[in-house]
Amino acid sequence: MMSSRKSEGWGLRVIPQELTDRYVDTGWWRDDTVGQMIAGAIGERPELTVKIRSSVRPWTGTFADVLGAACRMAAALRARGIGAGDVVAFQLPNWIEAAVSFWAAALLGAVVTPIVHFYGPKEVGYILRRTAVRALITADRFGHQDYIAALEEVRAGAPSLELVAVVGEGPVPSWAIPFDRLLDCEPVTEPAVVDPSSPALVAYTSGTTADPKGVVHSHRTIGFEIRQLAAMQTGNPPLLVGAPVGHAIGMLSGLLLPVWKGEPISLIDVWNPGAVLAAMLEDRVASGSGATYFLTSLLDHPDCTTEHLKLMSRIGLGGSPVPAAVTERMAALGISAIRSYGSTEHPSTTGSRHEEPEAKRHYTDGRPLLGVELRLVDEDGHDVASGERGEILSRGPDCCIGYTDAALTASGFDAEGWFATGDIGVLDEDGYLTIVDRKKDIIIRGGENISALEVEEMLMRIPGVAEAAVVAAPDERLGERVCAFVRLTEGSTPVDLADVRKQLQDAGLARQKWPEELELVHELPRTPSGKVKKFVLRDQLHSGQLPRE
């Protein structure tokens, strides 16, 4: 078995032997690599369709077509000295070249590093340096993004970078090659065999003002995650994926899960609700799963019909808080909703099934999934009782093997393998978890802790409110006060602070939790997975640069 090259400077943790033995003995951890999983699954259904919806690079073909291109690209990379354990990154929209690049790197036994297509020079430069990327596949431009210009800024500071391949129609700079040149080799015939416990993937995740976090997964942790998700997602039409494949959610649901499940791949490169709705009817595919934004943007669109609702009859929500107002709205439309909880570090932590009681599906984030263990602890690290709030600690066979930054690994994991999520939750008497806040989202107003999530839930029940994000605003007297950013549904009557506070009073929310500042916005800043970037809103409050309507 070929061993991967050492990932110098990464903060890979030592997995307790007891956990390793348990995961291997139960069959949760297997010896097949991501490349072997892809090649084996495609070999069983090579005729399945891959369809890319794009105004600039549309494409339709088969699994066999994409695998063939990936095998040629893997051979071209190997001929250029890039092999098992080396880092191959791509920064591409949801185009066919992203699938080819991902599968090629996996077949090679390389460490795949997807980069969100709207990251700029600062983030890309950091990722290239931190991850020691040797090969990068990128676009020349997409929308307002000029990737060539961005690379001109940062490539000198990335000494490991040896190969840049460019997707596009324009001229390629002297320090890069056209992407198509990577498809002119005789294909590899077998996936590389590497240590299944070695790094397979580095998924970068943002959410703070600091540099993005590089989350490292092994072949075993990603393999289990794929099988875990496949077991949860049954009985649904194939999914049209709009989440970027440069992010963990889009990568899993767009490039890996359909292969394992034996379903067509359907991607769209720009999330346009009208275009998504049209595609759903044309291709008989579902959409709207993931962060609630993806679903509500479809339901709020005037083109949404009963035919769309039938295709969305079973929806899974997660990746961001799921307001009860959303699940109740779905039930009224005849849609069965399930909530799940996870992170890039531990992707499938809790979840429920459509057969479970509606109250559990709508108002909790489910129970620990197969192999997952949970602890809820107080500020001193002591376990809390059922029904009490505590920080969620988790571990399981799909939990990552660390970060590219050793300091993050040291602060995020303990010696027994527990991952400190930073989320606050409550476990009920039946073992169902409900997320009640993020530690950093708690607003401390005059010494009293206020849950931002609780206020958001109440705001979402106000007629005309499509979305709400509550953060702490600085206050000279109280330290912090409650500020609500609200996006209204199109055509609804504007509300002011007095309207909002009156409706929250009528709903019974304690006065000290009422917003003392209200900002109406057209859009909220988002991560690639659809989460609201609350740190951006906080920065805007402190700087006075507010995106008002």
pLDDT in tens, 445-465: 876 778 888 899 899 999 999
Q: Which residues pair with 147 in a beta bridge?
A: none
Q: Residues 482-489: what's their mean pLDDT? A: 94
pLDDT higher than threshold 90 for residue 235 = no
Q: What is the DSSP string of 41-58?
A: HHHH-TT-EEEEE-SSS-
SS3 content of the chain, % helix, strand, coil (to 5): 35, 25, 40
- In angstroms, the CA 180 to CA 168 distance is 10
Q: How far apart are CA 213 and CA 45, in angstroms?
A: 36
Whether the predicted pLDDT of 37 surpasses 70: yes
Average pLDDT over residues 221-248: 91
Selected residue with higher pLDDT from 439 and 405: 405
pLDDT over threshold 80, residue 49: yes
62 bridge partner residues:
49
Kindly give the pairing relationship between strand 336-341 and strand 314-317. Answer: parallel
- pLDDT score for 445: 84
Position with higher pLDDT, 78 vs 293: 78
533 pLDDT above the threshold of 80: yes
Is residue 275 within 8 A of residue 305, CB to CB? The reply is: no
Q: What angle do CA 160, 127, 208 make, to 5 degrees?
A: 160
Running DSSP on this structure, what letter comes out for residue 186? P
**Comparing C-alpha atoms, which of 239, 306, 291 is closest to residue 268?**
239
Q: What is the pLDDT of residue 3?
A: 40
- pTM comes to 0.85
Which segment of 257-266, 305-314, 534-543 scores lowest on mean pLDDT?
534-543
Distance CA 344, CA 333 (A): 31
- Alpha helices (runs of H) in 95-143, residue ranges in sequence order: 96-108, 121-131
pLDDT (mean) for 210-221: 91
The lowest-confidence range among 101-105, 115-119, 217-221, 402-406 is 115-119
Task: Yes or no: say if 482 and 516 are a contact pair by the CB < 8 Å rule.
Answer: yes
**Which of 58-72, 134-148, 252-266, 462-476 shows the lowest mean pLDDT across its residues?**
462-476
Go through the domains of the chain in sequence order and give each one's CATH number.
11-222 (3.40.50.12780), 450-543 (3.30.300.30)
**333-356: average pLDDT:** 94
The per-residue pLDDT for range 1-11, each reduced to its tens digit, is 444 455 667 98
